[in-house]
Chain A
Amino acid sequence: MMKSLIVQSRKHYRRFYRLVALAVILMTAVLTGSLLLGDSVRGTLVQRVSERLGKTETIITSGTGFMSETLTQQPLLKHAKGYLLMDGFVSVDEKLLPVYVWGTDDDALSPGEVMVNEPLNAKLSTLSPQLSTLVLHLPTHNLVPSGSLFVSKSYATQMRVQVVGVKPVEDGGNLLLKNEQTLPLNIFVNRKYLAEKMELEGKINMILSDEMIDEEELATCWAPEYSGLHITDTTLTYDGVFIPQDIVQKLSTVNSQQSTVYLSYFVNDLIHQSDTIPYSFVTAVNEWQGEPLDGQDIILSDYAAERLHVHEGDSIHMSYFITKQLKNLDTSEQTMRVKQIVPLSAFQDDSLLMADFPGLTRVEKCTDWDSDLPIDMNRVHQEDEDFWHAYRQTPKAIVSYEAVKSDWSNAFGNATAMRFTPQTSTFSSAEPNLKSQISYRIFSTLGLPRKLTPSDANVQLYHPRAQGLKGAKGGVDFASLFLSLGFFIILSAILLMKNLLVELFTLRRSEIQLYRQLGFKDKDIRKGLFREAFSVIFLASPLGVIAGLAYSSLTLWLLGNVWSGATHTEGFALHIQPLTLLTGWIVALLISAITLWFVVRNILNPQPSYRIFSTLGLPRTFSSAEPNLTPHTSTLNPLIVSLARLACQETSAIILLLTITLTALNFIFFHNMVLFIVCGLLWVCAWGLFLRMKVERQSAASIGGTMSRTQLIWTSIHASMKQHLLAYWTLSLGVFTVFAVGLNRPDFSQAVQATGGYQFYVDSRVPIQYDLNNKAVRHKLSLQSLPDSTLFLSFLRHKQDEASCLNLNQVNTPTVLGVDLKEMESFGLIQEPHTSHLTPHIYIDEEALVWSLMKSVGDTLVYQNDKGESVPVVIAGTYPTGIFHGNAIMSSEDFRRLWPKEVGVEVLLMKSPCPEEAAETLAMAMSEYGLNIQTVEERIRMFFEVTETYLIIFLTLGGLGLLLGIFSLMIIVRKNLAAQATTIQQYRAMGFSESLVGQLLLRENLLVPLYAVGVGAIGSVISISANVGGAGFTTLLLAFAVLIIICLLLYYGIKYMIQQSMINITYSFIKTKSV
């Protein structure tokens, strides 16, 4: 029977239940959809890890150096491929596209042919649809590091290549080793061809293996030869010329007596009195033919002695270039004492004395020297050319290693060769050949090569998948984010459901009363009503789950397209987790059930429809003849009532005054955002209290006096004060929150100001080895037209994960910029006094620290230094989010200690009195460096765009929530109008015209909602007054449009409800009631 009653009632009231179902569907959809969004974004990021890594499980890199391609022939690396990976760029239609260039052993690629990945192909197609030939720009990668002296003056090279196809994702087209979700722009080129062009034949710098390999396993198959460390008989030389300091130290420590260290150098002058020999190779050694070289000893070749007219014991001057930072050349001089003069052939006999600097040593004539050094060819004479022709880089002298070690060493090494000699006493009489053989045996027996590990040669190994998956899974939680963003929709849907149920059950009060009269217990009535409504909720909620799928699909599409400013990512895919669907469904069901339970519980304890008296006790008089009539306020002491009323008035006035004062003070002095938000909230509260006071005052004003239409309206509002105040607080706080958050843009102008006056942010694809503030350098780079007052601030860069808001993955180690910290004070960075000089410190911008790293000041990050060692780095402080967003700032001293080999400048800031001309000059003069020159405003706006997009999403979803809330308000209005049917009829009978009745009802029902929207909107403006201009014209326009739509909807919605109610009342009166 009960079941039948429920079914019948549900059918009878289907008009209400359809709307209840709609509200449940909406709430379930947003709730489940938000949870699905979290899964989908996470799933997409995880998928991106697979896409960008393919089957790669282990990555072996050689840092700034190279490895031999033969290493991949080791059995351990049978599932591995060697690559020559370089950062490059292509210039298409005057637009610079940074690309990763992968030299790969792909048989399909002939020399000069390349394949591009899909994202690059899409970009190229957009920029230049017919393009098939690309000019690929690459930093010059010689075996000798670019950061050292004596390298070619050309730091970039270019090659023309033919695009022959698109490498699909499944073939590793989107290969990327960085922990980012953005798709890389990849170019795949024949490795041998690339190596040949870069003069790196047989070299690779990256091995990707499909198997998990650990460091011990790698050590078993690695040998120094694979890293270019050549061990021949008793010698050690290195492809990169400069043997890393650690190797020199390690091998010297094993048997210091037996090792000779060689360090060749190119000196500017050897001078004795008026005689000079320009541009000579000189080699420093710690011993010569068993004799140690001490102090200022120099051994001259007879050739040099003859040209300089010196004898043993004479002093000569030696001058040479040195550099401490970048290639800021200084000339250093030393006075040496001629210890010995030996035949030049003695130097010729020892090949280790002659280092191979490609640009200097592999030329036929001195005038062909290709060097970055300022060599004055006018000083090179015929006798120098003759010497070169006969002896090439044979040193003209050798000097004490100790005397020049500090000047001639660099970040890449402090020796150009090593010799391991048996103990002099043991082998002094032995044949040289035998001596060598024995020496090598000792070398091998001592196991010197085995003393070296891959990390000594900068060969490092890591497992990217685990890191990638950790980053993807630990990134931004889109489920929470979209639950927050869609909060208003969920809340409004709950309110809508609640209001509909209240309306439905209010309509059925007489029915409920009947059940009671028939002897039903309240508990049973509640149960019956609950079951009736819950059956609808239960049936609607699965539809909500399905709608949630549509909601999340739509949102994912929007995130990849319209809202791509928030993610900078395309192609989000829907990932459906059954557990998530179940969670969303159950939570929605629970919320609905609780709401329904509250409604059912309250409907059986009905409150009076009209609250005749305010609890604050407006003066009412009662007939003494009617002692049984008890006013609502009878229990309240009149004094308390008066005090409460006064307090309400006073509080309202005080809060309003406080708000205005605080806002003014804050606006003039503090500009504190939080204080502005508090002021906005106070504003809403003050006007809320004022509304209450006004209603009561207006309502009271008509008592005992004449009556006006306005009083009629106020009295009607007063009669349903609770509902009107609920409407006020809901609407005003809703509008306030949505607009205050939606319009509260980060302070763009402040961020722009905190840039030390620099106007441009320059990102160089090719490391710049020069100080651009140096006049000579400017001349050298054709930048002489820059005004003298043009200033550059240079940053070293250790590339790591992108930690800006553009990366959705969790980041462990952000990219580090090395700079003189004093220079950073104008950027808002407050330098903390170092507590320990041993631990490097970094500073990270506030947003990246909280959102990308999820760390706080004082925490430690672990970086790998140049040697592959893990180094803890302390987060010492923060700086305001601005142009360096996503980068960690480190002092250049700490930077050089950690990454001494990363010497080139990759980031520059520039300021100039003629900014645009300066930027143009820089771009033209350094076109081969692939400079990406952005104004600081552009760069900051790029980051702020992410926040802005999220705020626009909030504004949009919040706006939708508000609209739904307004719809919910309409239901209340409809319910109230239905309850006012008698009043409306009465108005008519008294001769009120239809338009007057409509007008009175419209004003009564519209006044508070419009007042609330206005107060909320002004409150939100107060809360964003710290940065009202920051919102931007489009956003302000959008907000204004949303506000207008809200007002229009309120106006027309309520008007429509009134018209409908009046028609219904007329209809029912005419057609039925009259009989």
Chain B
Amino acid sequence: MIELENITKRFADGQRSQTVLNHLSLRVEEGEFIAITGESGVGKTTLLNILGTLLPADEGQYLMRGEKVEVNDKKPTERICHLRNKEIGFVYQDHRLLPQFTVLQNILLPTLATQTASTEEERKRALDLLEFMGILSLKDNPVAQLSGGEQTRVGICRALINRPSILLADEPTGQLDAANAQTIAELFQRVNTQFHTTIIMATHSAEMAKVAQKTYVLEDGDLRLEV
């Protein structure tokens, strides 16, 4: 489903240039749940951002279902927007929920990228997701008042609202205690199995990585499959 071929990404800071991803290649099949581990600063987030079309690669090719994905430095194209909205869901370590909105509103936000108002069906789907996550009672609460675990769950709901085929999760349990982290890990597993969603999760937690079908280690700009 996803193919990365010889992806290279450098960051320049004045005179200095740092190669974060160096001719990296990756193939992810549909419905797969993979984990990417590595030390802090090794480039896990960069890789997820490239996969999420938020960053362009300097070199290499990104294919999705055999079609080339081209990301530029400037404005995202219509196709990229479509990919981000319909094909990819993103879960962040810091949740990135918008504090001015309620739980339900946050979840429905992605539906507004392509239409002026969300539909009743989408609302129902959001409620189903909330129920799936076990936080339906919080639907009208402001997100600022939720706990970290609840916020992560809301973030997952939001990522899933448009039924994406790929879910990218960047250290989703980074700010959670062990118990909450375990619950979230199980939720990801359920999402993967029930919705057949391809999940690519970046984590530095070995425990979290265990729930994935495959684990890759990112080292020196390249991925190594951990057996």
Chain A residues with a Cβ under 8 A of chain B:
609-610, 612-613, 620-626, 629, 631, 702-712, 715-716, 718-720, 982-983, 985-994, 996, 1069-1072, 1074-1075
Contact = CB atoms under 8 A, between A and B. Distances in A.
Contacts of B41: 1075
Given A613-B142, A1072-B11, A1075-B43, A990 B99 contact: no
Contact of B141 (A621, A711, A987): A621
Nearest to B12: A1071
B78 A706 contact: no
A1073 to B, nearest CB: 9
Interface stretch (B30-38, B108-116, B179-187, B205-213): B108-116
Interface in B115-147: 116-120, 122-123, 137-142, 144-147
B183 to A, nearest CB: 14
Contacts of B173: none
B109 A1070 contact: no
B85 interface: yes
A493 to B, nearest CB: 32
Nearest to B48: A1074
A807 B86 CA distance: 76
B179 to A, nearest CB: 15
A625 B49 CA distance: 35
A985 B49 CA distance: 12
The secondary structure that dominates the A interface is loop
Nearest to B78: A993
A1075 B18 contact: yes
Contacts of A1070: 55, 73
Contact of B110 (A623, A626, A716, A990): A990
A989 B145 contact: no
B84 A990 contact: yes
Contact of A712 (B78, B83, B99, B112): B112
Given A704-B140, A1072-B11, 6 more contacts: A704-B104, A711-B117, A712-B105, A715-B105, A993-B81, A1074-B11
12 contacts: A610-B144, A621-B140, A704-B104, A704-B140, A706-B119, A706-B120, A708-B118, A715-B101, A987-B109, A993-B113, A1074-B55, A1075-B20
A982 B118 contact: no
Interface string B73-112: 1011010011111101010000010111110110011111
Contacts of B78: 993
A610 B75 contact: no
Contacts of B84: 988-991
B147 A992 contact: no
A639 B123 CA distance: 31
Interface of B: 11-13, 18, 20, 41, 43, 45-46, 49, 52, 54-55, 73, 75-76, 78, 81-86, 88, 90, 96, 98-102, 104-105, 108-114, 116-120, 122-123, 137-142, 144-147, 158, 162
B15 to A, nearest CB: 14
B99 A707 contact: no
A991 B145 contact: no
A992 B78 CA distance: 9
Contacts of A712: 105, 109, 112
Nearest to B41: A1075
B108 A706 contact: yes
A501 to B, nearest CB: 25
Given A715-B105, A990-B84, A707 B117 contact: yes
Contacts of A985: 96
Majority SS at the chain B contact face: mixed
A661 B34 CA distance: 70
A844 B145 CA distance: 71
B100 A719 contact: yes
A705 B99 CA distance: 18
Contact of B90 (A610, A989, A993): A989
A1070 B56 CA distance: 9
A613 B144 CA distance: 11
A610 B99 contact: yes
A712 B49 CA distance: 26
A720 B88 CA distance: 31
A716 B145 contact: no
B100 A716 contact: yes
Contacts of A988: 54, 76, 84
B25 to A, nearest CB: 20
Contacts of A621: 140-141
A1074 B13 CA distance: 13
Instruction: Give the 9 A-B CB pairs with smallest separation, nearest first.
Output: A991-B85, A719-B100, A708-B117, A991-B84, A707-B108, A990-B110, A629-B145, A707-B118, A991-B113
A994 B96 contact: no
Nearest to B127: A704
A720 to B, nearest CB: 8
A706 B161 CA distance: 13
Contacts of B76: 988, 993-994
Given A706-B117, A989-B90, A1072 B105 contact: no
Nearest to B84: A991
Between A631, A710, A718, A992, the greatest number of chain B beta carbons within 10 A of the residue's beta carbon is seen for A992
Contacts of B18: 1075
B105 A991 contact: no
B109 A707 contact: yes
B11 A1075 contact: yes
Contacts of A704: 102, 104, 139-140
A982 B45 CA distance: 16
Contacts of B85: 990-992
A878 B7 CA distance: 90
Contacts of A622: 141, 145
Contacts of B138: 623, 626
B172 to A, nearest CB: 14
Nearest to A720: B100
Contacts of B110: 990-991
Could you say which of B86, B88, B113 has the most chain A C-beta atoms within 10 Å of its C-beta?
B113
Q: Which of A704, A990, A1069, A1074 has the most CB of B within 10 A?
A: A990
Contacts of B43: 1075
A626 B54 CA distance: 35
Nearest to B49: A1074
Contacts of A715: 100-101, 105
From B41, B105, B119, B146, name the one whose CB has the most chain A CB atoms within 10 angstroms.
B105
A669 to B, nearest CB: 47
Instruction: Determine which residue in B20, B52, B55, B110 has the highest number of CB atoms from chain A within 10 A of its CB, and name it.
Output: B110
B96 A986 contact: yes
A708 B45 CA distance: 31
B112 A709 contact: yes
A621 B41 CA distance: 41
Contacts of A1075: 11, 18, 20, 41, 43, 45-46
